[in-house]
Amino acid sequence: MPQITADARSNMSLARRAWGIRRKALQMGEVQGQGYVGQALGVADVLAVSYFHAMRFQPEDPEWDGRDRFLLSIGHYAIALYAALIEAGILPENEINTYGMDDSRMPMSGMASYTPGMEITGGSLGHGLGIAVGMALGLRAKGGDQFVYNLMSDGELGEGSTWEAVMSATQHQLSNLICIVDFNNQQADGPSRDALAVGPEAPKWRAFGWHAQEVDGNDLTALTAAFDAARCDQGARPRVIICNTKMCKGIPFLERREMTHFVRVDPDEWARALTILDEEMPL
Ligand SMILES: Cc1ncc(C[n+]2csc(CCOP(=O)(O)OP(=O)(O)O)c2C)c(N)n1
Ligand SMILES: [Mg+2]
């Protein structure tokens, strides 16, 4: 099993890390008065386990060749990854106030050339997994033991290019590839399962030859076990973790809001959301 370096640097619990990611995302949303905070709050637990349990990286050297690669296929989730990168010490906390501004290193959609730790420029949905396949092939060809993690959305399951990449990963027996699907059952026009149902999802991935798990993506214990199982599987096959998440998780008044792809947060509600979060700070 690969060394876990990030966790060793801190005694902070995963719950506290996830809380920190949520807080930073809300702070960035407040700076702009908008942002994909519903997605960030929903995927915060997945990011906490990725960065503080599973992945190897060196905060002081984001380009360290031995790092596991984390690809954000969903460029609009950039606010979530920035929050994780700040929590991980790869980006400085004082840049939160620049979020989405001209010349910021944190534009509203993820851009690889702008931001340390942002491995690819995502955003055109359905491309991350194909890039991840190429990266996993390249790392293996160089004899590396790094994993490539690709975070994608349920909406991307409707893209044909995703399934080409799925088959390609199987063909090449990419055991160093771990795909994470943020299944929030939400797309731009409503619930994903109403738009284009591809379920049952895990059996489908398995039928394509993948090691597939489906977990509650807001349960840190379940996530930790799933990431361990994905990394430790001995099969010559790629792995996927389908994470069922709840948008706006952790802020009840936003969780209850009629869910849209881009959650509306009124100007006075940012402070209210931060107060609610602060009252729930884990040790
Ligand atoms: C190829 C492509 N088609 C359409 C879009 C426009 N778009 C941006 S986000 C989004 C929603 C897709 O659903 P999902 O990826 O599940 O995002 P969520 O609503 O969960 O944030 C769409 C359609 C895009 N970025 N790329
Ligand atoms: Mg979605």
Residue 77 gets which letter from DSSP?
G
Residue 102, classed as helix, strand or coil, is coil
pLDDT on residue 2: 40
- The residue nearest atom 21 of ligand 1, judged by CA position, is 261
pLDDT on residue 12: 84
Q: Does 26 have pLDDT greater than 70?
A: yes
Q: Does 119 have pLDDT greater than 50?
A: yes
Torsion angles phi and psi, residue 202, rounded to 5: -60, -45
pLDDT band for 260, please (50, 70, 90 cuts): confident
Q: Does 272 have pLDDT greater than 60?
A: yes
Residue 261 Cβ contacting ligand 1 at under 6 Å: yes
Q: Which domains does the chain have, with CATH numbers?
A: 14-279 (3.40.50.970)
- The residue nearest atom 3 of ligand 1, judged by CA position, is 125
pLDDT band for 4, please (50, 70, 90 cuts): very low
Give the residue among 116, 131, 208, 120 at the shortest CA–CA distance from 177.
131
Structure tokens at 215: 């977990």
Assign residue 213 a region (left: φ > 0; alpha: ψ between -120 and 50; beta: otherwise).
beta
pLDDT on residue 258: 80
Residue 259 gets which letter from DSSP?
P
pLDDT on residue 10: 62
Q: In degrees to the nearest 10, what's the CA dihedral of 244, 248, 251, 257?
A: -110
Q: Does 96 have pLDDT greater than 80?
A: yes
Compute the average pLDDT of residues 228-250: 98
Residue 186 Cβ contacting ligand 1 at under 6 Å: yes
**Alpha-carbon dihedral sign for residues 252, 256, 258, 259:** positive
Residue 201 Cβ contacting ligand 1 at under 6 Å: no
Residue 245, classed as helix, strand or coil, is coil
- Which of 36, 187, 263 has most ligand 1 atoms within 8 Å of its beta carbon, as the pocket-test mutant? 187
Structural contact between residues 238 and 174, judged by C-beta atoms closer than 8 angstroms: yes
Q: Does the predicted model carry a pTM greater than 0.85?
A: yes
Give the residue among 102, 112, 108 at the shortest CA–CA distance from 72.
112
